[in-house]
A = this chain, B = another copy of it.
């Protein structure tokens, strides 16, 4: 502790001196960072170093000095002061509490995030889950991304076809194709007799039909992600894979409402009001589906690894951005 305090005193003095020197070189109208006496300043800096809760204040003071140092015209003087600054920063990092920096990391999730691992292990696959809002070009982006990476692409149409065939093959029901966002409404009234209800109940091992389809889908998604590199669109795939501890990247692609409307008007020949109504309806359905099956909240940044605003990039640049993000780890 005593040793620690001495080290802090030394660093505080060096910071005070650096500030003075930088000020002499820059002659800034803003004056020195520390306007008080050496004694008071050193005392204050020491306290910031010794009490981690306010570490960010120390950092701000240092940033202010280095910001000024970078404007020094004389190259030699500038290099010298930046070097001293870097050195001080390093020493502070070495203090027991540094800047009071505590990492933020969800270990169980980060472990499943291929871009945070040094390398994908031999058994792992590059699985990119993409959720998106209607009209944000998320599907175009996912399809082209898969094509460029030479990996498989799965969207709702493909899942339904595959499920239908798997079911048919097992001699089981083949009505999986009716499960889609557009139809999804957990609370919609249905025309059904007690007889059909019993038939449905038995068929799906006691699960409501909708849930049974979801569980089939989940199985399919898990086995795909365990066996191949792929892009999976929607289907809460990110939540399903997280629950099953299968590595994947989760992306959310969206764009401002007004731009999604414009795009729908152009791509589906819709009128403004029709497009707006359609979008609102789709957003509600996406949200209902996601919230119901994941318990999370659809479209909140903390549900995904990364959210991309496709309107600020365009389709081509969004794909480039994603490729840049994952590239290094695949090499």
Of the candidates B56, B99, B311, which one forms a contact with A105 in the assembled complex, judged by CB atoms under 8 Å apart? B311
Residue A181 interfacial (CB < 8 Å):
no
A120 contacts across to B, CB distance below 8 A: none
- Which of these, B29, B67, B165, B254, contacts A152 with CB under 8 Å? B67
The smallest C-beta distance from A325 to any residue of chain B, in angstroms, reads: 6
Quick check: A152 and B70 within 8 Å, CB to CB? yes
**Pair B30/A109 contact, Cβ less than 8 Å:** no
Instruction: Identify which of residues 3-50 in chain A touch chain B, using a CB-to-CB cut-off of 8 Å.
Output: 29-31, 33
The answer to whether B60 and A102 have CB atoms under 8 Å apart is no
**Are A99 and B140 in touch, CB under 8 angstroms?**
yes
The answer to the question of A306 belonging to the interface, with a C-beta cut-off of 8 Å to chain B, is yes
Q: Which of A67, A135, A302, A325: most chain B Cβ within 10 A?
A: A302
Nearest chain B residue, comparing its CB with the CB of A313: B116
CB of B267 within 8 A of CB of A315, answer no
Given known contacts A115-B321, A269-B53, A312-B116, A256 and B302 CB-to-CB distance under 8 angstroms: yes
Option from B150, B166, B325 in Cβ contact (under 8 Å) with A325 = B325
Residues on the B chain within 8 Å of A153, using CB: 63, 66-67
Question: Within the assembled complex, what's the spacing in Å between the Cα atoms of A161 and B147?
Answer: 52
A110 to B268, CA, bound (A): 24
Residues of B within 8 A of A254 (CB): 301-302
Residue in chain B with minimal CB distance to A85: B147
Whether the Cβ atoms of A139 and B56 lie closer than 8 Å is yes
Query: How many residues on A have C-beta within 8 angstroms of the other chain's C-beta atoms?
Result: 87
A173 close to chain B: CB less than 8 A: no
Chain B residue nearest in CB terms to A250: B312
B104 touches A255 (CB 8 A): yes
Q: Which residue of the partner chain B has the closest CB to A71?
A: B228
Q: Does A314 sit at the interface, judged by CB under 8 A?
A: yes
CA distance A134 to B255 in the complex (A): 25
Q: Once the chains bind, are A110 and B301 in contact (CB under 8 Å)?
A: no
Residues of B within 8 A of A266 (CB): 102
Residue interface mask A151-191, B partner, CB < 8 A = 1: 01111011001100110010000000000000000000000
A214 at the A/B interface (Cβ < 8 Å)? no
| Docked-complex contact B324 and A328, CB < 8 angstroms | yes
Question: Complex: how many Å from CA A315 to CA B57?
Answer: 19
Verify B302–A106 contact, CB threshold 8 A.
Answer: no
Contacts of A74 in B (CB 8 A): none
A70 CA / B146 CA spacing, docked (Å): 12
Q: Which residues of B contact A316 (CB under 8 A)?
A: 103
Q: Which of B104, B140, B147, B269 contacts A311 (CB 8 A)?
A: B104
Please list 8 pairs of residues, one from A and one from B, whose beta carbons are closer than 8 Å in the complex, sorted by A's number.
A56-B155, A60-B155, A63-B154, A64-B162, A115-B313, A305-B308, A305-B313, A306-B308
